[in-house]
Amino acid sequence: MKREFGTLPDGRKVHLLTLRNDQGLEAEVLTYGGILRALRLEAGDRSVPLVLGLDDLPAYLLDDLNLGRLVGRTSGRIACGRYEHDGRTHRLSVNEGRHHLHGGSGGFGRSLWRVEEQNADRVRLARTFEDGEDGYPGCLEAGVELRLQGTTLHVGITALCDAPTPFDPTYHPYFNLAGDSAIPAAGQLLRVPADRYLPVDAELIPLGEIASVDGTPFDFRLPVTPERNTDPTDPQIRMGRGYDHCLVLASGTRCSAELYSSHSGVAMRVSSDAPALVFYEGQALDTAHPHLGRGLCLEPQGFPDAPNQAGFPDAILLPGQRYVRRIAYRFAHVDPGSHWDQAMAALA
């Protein structure tokens, strides 16, 4: 289903696309920013909202916390909005103080995408990003496909570029599987199979170190709630005013994260081909959108600021390379109050 959702200041129409299947999963996607406005799961006798969303297009145009947005060309921060490649300095748009965040002032999340194909449970969006948009080199042909299969939302992001360009996209929904803003998102059980993390400076730029999670608040290898795992005296937690860090996944894992709300009985497994996961606990929502409560962002991606960090995996897409990033969000429902192991068994 497709309907008008609003009009951009330049007169272009934004549409809301609704996807449904017979397994009780429903998604709402905007052509503006590829925004995942809503995701709902039939759980027992009710439909549980799983992600945070805003009421109308003006609210999304004002939002600077990337609620539900598709993020690119790069996710995370690039220090001082600049990087060097092949002896040339490239300057990107800056939109967080002096730094470039989540693709800059334009980027994927603030672009109008065209609908290339849509049916009841699948949509494909596409857009051409011209050479120089937000400072990035090369003309980039980007596409994103969202598909419902059973109780899984599959996201596939593809790209081709005609010049070397940083490329590391992700999706940025905020999850509160309780389906109730009065239930703290930090009370959800979280497991991330990451044995290392990236320490940051006071401006949340990675220091270049890849540190062990052992003995730190960043160890989520066993299920624990963020509110219980955090340590407000930890210097890294203090810098981010909470969690806003990149967790490096253990070698060989395809599971990026697992999340469970005993309040609703809804569990989620995030799987991806990305090597890391940024965990952001949504603390800025307290001021920007207090009526929403908090949601947890679990962002499969590469390493932030990779173009400036020689010790990080390369994040340059070369001409002729076809980029593919896959993310899958799988859901299950058990009786509220069930044990973690029961919820994970339902995801199997």
Residue-wise pLDDT for 261-277, tens only, equals 999 999 999 999 999 99
Q: How confident is the model at residue 254 (pLDDT cuts 50, 70, 90)?
A: confident
Q: How confident is the model at residue 242 (pLDDT cuts 50, 70, 90)?
A: very high
319: which residues sit within 8 A by CB, 6+ positions away?
138, 161, 162, 163, 164
> Of 1, 12, 3, 2, which Cα lies nearest the Cα of 111?
12
Between the two ends of the chain, the Cα-to-Cα distance in Å is 31
Continuous segment of H or E residues that includes residue 347? helix 340-347
State how far the Cα of 32 lies from the Cα of 7, in Å rounded to an integer.
Answer: 10
Its CATH class, for the domain covering 2-347, is: mainly beta
Across the chain, mean pLDDT equals 97
| DSSP state for residue 307 in the 8-state scheme | G
| Tens digit of each residue's pLDDT (9 = 90 or more) over 304-329 | 999 999 999 999 999 999 999 999 99
| DSSP state for residue 275 in the 8-state scheme | S
pLDDT at 227: 97
CA 317 from chain centre, in angstroms, equals: 20
Which is the catalytic residue, given 28, 258, 281, 299? Answer: 299
State how far the Cα of 31 lies from the Cα of 18, in Å rounded to an integer.
Answer: 11
3-state helix, strand, coil in the chain (%, to 5): 15, 45, 45
In degrees and rounded to multiples of 5, residue 97 shows phi and psi of: 60, -120
Decide: residue 12, CB within 10 A, 0-12 exposed, 13-18 middle, 19+ buried.
Answer: exposed
Q: Residue 229: left if φ>0, alpha if ψ -120 to 50, beta else—which one? A: alpha
Which is the catalytic residue, given 90, 99, 100, 172? Answer: 172
Q: Tell me which amino acid residue 206 is.
A: P
State how far the Cα of 266 lies from the Cα of 176, in Å rounded to an integer.
Answer: 10
pLDDT at 237: 97
Q: How confident is the model at residue 65 (pLDDT cuts 50, 70, 90)?
A: very high
State how far the Cα of 250 lies from the Cα of 254, in Å rounded to an integer.
Answer: 9
| DSSP state for residue 188 in the 8-state scheme | S
> Of 310, 316, 73, which Cα lies nearest the Cα of 206?
310
State how far the Cα of 187 lies from the Cα of 282, in Å rounded to an integer.
Answer: 13
List the chain domain ranges: 2-347
* Across 24-42, average pLDDT: 98
State how far the Cα of 320 lies from the Cα of 284, in Å rounded to an integer.
Answer: 39
Residue 89: strand pairing partners? 84
Could you confirm whether 299 is annotated as catalytic?
yes
Residue 256 scores a pLDDT above 90: yes
Q: What angle do CA 42, 50, 305 make, to 5 degrees?
A: 145
Can you tell me which residue has the tokens 């407000």?
232
Residue 45 scores a pLDDT above 90: no
Q: What pTM was estimated for this model as a whole?
A: 0.97
Q: How confident is the model at residue 44 (pLDDT cuts 50, 70, 90)?
A: confident
136 touches 73 (CB < 8 A): yes
